Amino acid sequence: MTAPRRRLLLPALLLLLVSACASGGSGAAPGAPHARRAGSARLITAEQLGSGSFRTAYDAVETLHPNWLKVRGGEVTDDEMVWVFLDDARLGGVEHLRNIPASSISSIQFIDGVDAGGRWGKGFENGVIYVRTHGS
């Protein structure tokens, strides 16, 4: 390989590496409450809710994504819980999902602690379960 070709090879490889890393994201804005992310690991759709015999949001989450209900680590305190939001209102812990009828829900999304912290500030380290209703 000649010297001019070798000099061009390194920048071309770096450009390829940078562009591959940059395109790995989902394209969704961090913390967007109803943005679709890659795959369905963070979203329960109205179709999924309608296809099951779910009475409440808790039933749906417990069946489809039980890991959303668990806190990473040991003992749970108020500062370390998974929070529940209904549209734009903060309700509290996951027990509030039992009061939300599945028939009123258009989607349920899990927002991880990093994205939730960027949107709402400190205190959401274990994430947020964001429930969006048909009327919102």
Per-residue confidence (pLDDT) for residue 128, from 0 to 100: 95
Domain count, the chain: 1
Domain presence at residue 20:
no
Domain presence at residue 115:
yes
Domain presence at residue 5:
no
48-107 pLDDT, tens per residue? 998 888 999 999 999 999 999 987 665 555 556 899 999 999 999 999 999 999 999 999
Per-residue confidence (pLDDT) for residue 13, from 0 to 100: 53
Range of the domain at 126: 28-133
> Strands across the sheet with 43-45, in order?
43-45, 105-111, 128-133, 83-86, 89-92
Task: Give the residue-averaged pLDDT of 27-38.
Answer: 40
CATH number for the domain including 70? 2.170.130.10
Domain presence at residue 69:
yes
Domain presence at residue 55:
yes
Residue in this structure with the two tokens 């549209």, named with its chain if needed: 87
Domain presence at residue 106:
yes
Nearest-angstrom CA–CA distance, 36 and 110: 11
Residue in this structure with the two tokens 């927002």, named with its chain if needed: 111
Domain presence at residue 6:
no
For residue 101, the 8-state DSSP code is B
Domain presence at residue 12:
no
5-27 pLDDT, tens per residue? 556 665 665 555 545 544 444 33
Q: What is the pTM of this model?
A: 0.68
Q: Which residues contact 1 (CB under 8 A, 6 or more apart)?
A: 9
Per-residue confidence (pLDDT) for residue 42, from 0 to 100: 93
